[in-house]
Amino acid sequence: MIDIYTFVEAVWLLWPAYGANGLCMLARGKRSIDGGKTFRGKPVFGNGKTWEGFMLGVVIATLVGTFQMIVFPYLPWDLSPVALDIVPMSPFMGFVIGLGAMAGDLGGSFLKRRIGIPRGKPAPLLDQLDFIIGMLVFLAFVVALKWEWVVILVILTPVIHLVANGVAYLLRIKKVPY
């Protein structure tokens, strides 16, 4: 059963992936990961996926994981009437989550190019879930994932994405609401 405690456990996993996926574009990189190569006549990933952005995403996730490790003892976990199954964060866990999130984002770009969706154009659900799926795949190698966490993350992420982009659009931070 999914309850508030399981929700808290799942959300704890989100922070490094959200940091990686949300801030990687700050790198403004020049070196595209695919090097301009094509696959079946279409860009492999497109020039929007750069080594600088990929690496920045992984570094940010590593820093977020480190921050979570530092603040963990000071959070009020003991207020919970049940024992929480919180995944211990560390620089390594942040790195794994960041690497998975960025790899998932690349996978999403690869799929978008295959079906003819150009860079910057929306692909509902794929745009919101690619990095979470990548994170979960990589995380599964180092943590026993609960199915409830997967369900929560897959449902919560598109909702957060819609709300965050809507707010950014209203604040004129983004030119489009998606």
Domain ranges of the chain: 4-170
Per-residue model confidence (pLDDT) at position 71: 97
Provide the pLDDT for residue 159: 95
pLDDT score for 122: 86
What is the DSSP track for 89-135?
P-HHHHHHHHHHHHHHHHHHHHHHHHTTPPTT---TTHHHHHHHHHH
Measured CA to CA, the distance from residue 44 to residue 34 in angstroms comes to 6
The confidence score (pLDDT) of residue 129 equals: 96
CA distances from 1 to 140, 148, 157, 162 (A): 21, 8, 20, 26
pLDDT value at position 9?
93
Average pLDDT by consecutive 10-residue portion of the chain (178 residues)? Answer: 90 96 89 92 90 97 98 90 91 98 97 90 91 98 96 96 88 81
Which amino acid belongs to residue 74? Y
Q: What is the pLDDT of residue 28?
A: 85
| pTM given for the model | 0.91
